[in-house]
Amino acid sequence: LPHIGGALRCLSLQEVGPTMVGDEHSDPGLMSFLGATKRNMLGNHFWEYYVNDAPRVVLNKLESCGYRVVSMTGVGQTLVWCLHKE
C-alpha cells in the first residue's frame, strides 16, 4: 500500500487549508496526485508534504484512490484523520 504518512492533518479548526498530507517517506506518486509540496518548517528536523486545499477536498481525492476514513480526532487546534486503503 502507498504510504501517506499515517494520517492526514489540518492545522486549524476552520476547515480550510493548508492540509498536511504526508511525511518525507510518503509515496511521491500519491503526493503528486494530491498536488502536494514538500517542505521543511524552520526548527523541524523532518520534511512534510502539504496542499493548500481544504481537508474535504483532499479526503475526496483520496477516496477516489480507494482510501477510507477509519477515525478522526482533534488534538489542540489540529484535526487528524486516519485512513486505510482497501
pLDDT of residue 32: 96
Could you give all domains of the chain from N- to C-terminal order, each with its CATH number? Answer: 10-67 (3.30.1410.10)
Tens of each residue's pLDDT in the chain, 86 residues:
444 545 556 544 456 778 899 888 999 999 999 999 999 888 888 899 999 998 889 999 999 999 999 998 888 888 888 898 87
Three-state DSSP class for 30?
A: helix
Q: Which residues have a Cβ under 8 Å from the Cβ of 24 and sit 6 or more positions away?
A: 38, 46, 47, 48
Helices of type H across 5-85: 28-34, 55-64
Question: Residue 51 and residue 18: Cα distance in Å, rounded?
Answer: 6
